[in-house]
Chains A and B, each alone.
Chain A
Amino acid sequence: MKRSHCFFWGILPAAVLIALFFITPAIWGVYTSLTNMALVGKAAKHLQFIGFQNYVRLFRDSAFFTSIINSMWYVVGGAIIGQFLLGLGLALFLEYTESNKIKGGNIVYGFVMLAWITPALVSGFEWGAMYDFYYGTLNNILKLFSLSKINWLGEVPMLSVIIANIWQGTAFTMLVLNSALKTIPFELYESAKIDGSSRWQSIRYITLPLIKNIAIVDLISITIATFGAFLMIMAITSGGPGMKTTTLSLYAYRSAFENYRIGYGCSISMILMIINLVFGLTYLKFLKKLS
């Protein structure tokens, strides 16, 4: 047998599995989104092809637009501002303490990583307890300083889930940017120091430009992750109060599995997929630049 044929057979099992259990569901989703598939009511008994009705209804559904705006807040506040800035700060900070032989960095690193590997449902459970109005740790800390209690999940629900999201996700940016910092040759900083530039100047004019491309790849990664994740929100607020913390992915879940409208839920899934493919293409563009 020719060697190239062997390579074909080597790729085949993976190709079949991906085609059947990854790509087929995606295409099946296009079909389902054009039907009135449901688990309860009249539609459950009479599956019908209804064309683009789900999509038409989607664009008249104010909850759909609310969930898009919520997703935007969640991604901008949680990932782009929160995780990224805190992750960048932590990466620089840990690098600084390490190179100056200041102890304690490992403990910080350990707990940031622990938050990252904690499953989303467990994180949500932990933060739900933190935010509890009467007995929660946060309000008890406020009481300690004689400050008034905050109704975290009632008054500022979006901020609350964003704080939990930053807690969970920051480690990724910290890891990626920290390893990027390690690739910068030390001599660059030395010569900048000799030229009389301050620490902030060398961060601004040496570090940041050199890690720019990796930072963009990182930003797209955390955007994709935060945009798609909904389990932690589900465990903390179930999307409430009302629609206040229902992001687009959570709205898809609620439509399909709480209101049992599978066809309608699928049309939201398709919108999610298109947005993510756009993110993915941008991601690849910058990943190619890196290699």
Chain B
Amino acid sequence: MTGMAEQQATISKLSGEIMQEHRSLWSDTWRHFVRHRLALISLITMVVVASAIIVGPFFISYDPERIDFAAKNESPSLAHPMGTDELGRDQLVRVLEGGRISLAVALAAVSVAMTVGVLFGAVAGYAGGWVDNALMRVVDVFYSLPGLFILILLVTIIGPGFLTIVVAIGILRWMGAARLVRASFLSLKEKEFVESARAAGAGRVRIIFRHILPNALSPIIVAGTLGIAGAILTESALSFLGLGFQPPQATWGRMLQEAQRSVLNDGHWWRGFFPGLMIFISVLSVNFIGDGLRDAVDPRRIQQ
């Protein structure tokens, strides 16, 4: 009798191993993502940075624009954890305020880039033939543009504003997404499920957006995440060159530019150290998150 019970237990144990509980693609991705330790730490870091930037300024009693000559050029202390600048403005609150613009620009620019890239790639990949050929030559042309030069040109010519900077960064970074989406579309459009959708009478737009695009999303999400890191660096570089946002608006790059003289002539290291540190931490974290996502959505990983 014990043999029966044992058998039963073995069977249920084995079948439990075979029968996988149903999980959606995203919960599956999440399960693998959290196993990537660095990616998880980075995600937590970014959540902390983002919340500090969003709600932080409300909890700090200093006004980012308030000038206080009694407290100018102070090194970091408890009252001013990141020190003060030559006008006595608190650096911490300025760094948090600046982060709002820096991160908002990066997110918006990547959204622009991804939207353009996805539309471009989807049309090229779905249409194929000469349309594909022509659109991909456009991608080649944009790839060969000297990016930062064009950005400097656009911003100097049109004038630095949120929209200009976002669009300018966006139109220099969409080509990667376009190539990825095109490649997925080229293979996916031949699959049976597309054929069946077409047989069921779905229109071209519906097939592209409703049927093919969801299956082509994961590489785009990875590319988009990594793109945020690039966009943060690009905006900072532009602001650092004095061509991005103009004072009194502070972005991390702009603060570094303003700090340059004070660090190098007066040795006020905190003026340059903290804004740069924030750029560094954000870029590093976003890179790790992107890496973790890439591993998590990789279909080959499931077979291992």
Question: Do A and B interact with each other, yes or no?
Answer: no
Residues of B within 8 A of A (CB): none
Residues of A within 8 A of B (CB): none
